[in-house]
Amino acid sequence: MWMVATGGGYVDVPRPTDSTLMSVGDRREFLVDFAQFNDGDTVYMTNLAVPHDMNYGSTNGKALMAFIVDHSLASENPVTTLPSTLVDYELTPGPVFMTREKNLMGSGGSGHVWTIDGTPMDMMVINDTVLVNTKERWVINNQTNKSHPFHIHKVQFQVVEYTEKVGVLDTVATYTHPDLPDELFGFKDVQLIRPGATLIFEARFDSFPSPLHPNQGYMYHCHILTHEDTSMMHQFVVVDSADFYTGLSAIPGTERLEVYPNPATNELYFKGSFEEAGTLTFYDLRGKILRREAIHARDSKAVSVQDLPRGVVIVELFLANKRYISKLSLY
Ligand SMILES: [Cu+2]
C-alpha cells in the first residue's frame, strides 16, 4: 500500500509501506492494491501492537478489519496508476517569530496529575498568546515514562525534528525534515511522543476570531482522554498583529498593571503587592518576548530594565490565574 495523505492533506509523493505507527486521534490515507489478490481471498488489516497474550478472539487475533476480494465489484473508474508526485511540499516558509518550549510532566498512578509544565488546565487562564500570521516553533519534551499523542487545535503543523531514545542502550536517534519516517511526515495536528523524546514542529497561526470572547481559547493537549482530563492540557489565543497590546487587553480577566516610574530608565517598581509568585514578561509592540523571568512582585521590589531596548515595551505580570499588563516607556 502507499501512504498518500495525513490528516492535514497530501504528502509529497506516494510512500510505499506495509505498516504505519498510529496514535490516538491520528489520521492517514492509503491507497491499497487489491488487484494482486484472487477472488475470494481474505486480506486482514491487523494491529501489530496487540500484546502476544491478548487478541480480539477472531480467526486472526490481531485483525481489526477483514477485506474479502471480489473483482466483480471493481468501480467503473478504478485507480490503476499512481502519480509520481502529489503536491509541492515544503516547510512553511518565513522566519520563526517565536519558539515555545513545553514539558509533558507527571507519572500517572492514583490521584496523580498529568500536566504541561507542571501547571494544570484552568479554563480561566490563557497560557499562551500567539501573534497572528507568524510562524512559530514549538519544542515538546516528554519528561514522563509514557507515550503521549500531542494534539493542537487551530493549526496543522510540520515536524522539523524528532529525537528519541531507542533500544536497550537508549541510543539517541534524531530525525530531521525532510528525512523523516512516514509517520512524522506531512501536515498534522497530532503526533505521538515517546517517553524521553522531543518533538519540534513549526506552524503558521494564520487567523483568529475577532473580537475575542471568553472561551475562545484554542487547546493543546495529550490526546489520551484520561491524560487530558487530569490535566495535560493548556490553551492559547491568537491576537491581532496591528496592536498586540489590544489583543492582550481583550483576553478575559486581564487587568491593568501599575508600574512606576513610567517612563523608566534603569529600574521599575510595582504599585501594590501580589500574593503569589508569577511570571514577568517584557514584549515589544509586536509581541516578541524581550525578557521573561519568575518573580514575586512587591511594591518595594526593583526590577532592572537596563538591558531592554529604549522605546515603548509591554510589561505583563502573569500569576496563577490572573494577567496584569501595562505599556512602559524606556528612555
Ligand atoms: Cu498522555
Give the pLDDT score at 320.
74
pTM listed for this prediction: 0.76
Distance 248 CA to ligand 1 centre (A): 30
CATH number, position 296: 2.60.40.3080
Distance 229 CA to ligand 1 centre (A): 10
Within-domain flag for 323: yes
Within-domain flag for 78: no
Give the DSSP letter string of 91-104.
PPPS-EEEEEEEEE
Low-confidence ranges of the chain (pLDDT < 50): 214
Distance 148 CA to ligand 1 centre (A): 4
Within-domain flag for 216: yes
Query: CA nearest 12: which of 68, 89, 94, 66?
Result: 89
Determine which helix (DSSP H) or strand (DSSP E) holds 180, and give its type and residue range: none
Give the pLDDT score at 208.
73
The answer to whether the beta carbons of residues 281 and 291 sit under 8 Å apart is yes
Cis peptide, bond prior to residue 261, ω within 30 of zero = yes
The answer to whether the beta carbons of residues 256 and 270 sit under 8 Å apart is no
Distance CA 64, CA 46 (A): 5
Distance 293 CA to ligand 1 centre (A): 28
Give the pLDDT score at 156.
96
Instruction: Name the residues around ion ligand 1, CB cutoff 5 A.
Output: 148, 222, 224, 227
One-letter amino acid identity for 8?
G
**258 with 219, same domain?**
no
Angle in degrees, CA 193, 197, 202, rounded to 5: 65
Within-domain flag for 58: yes
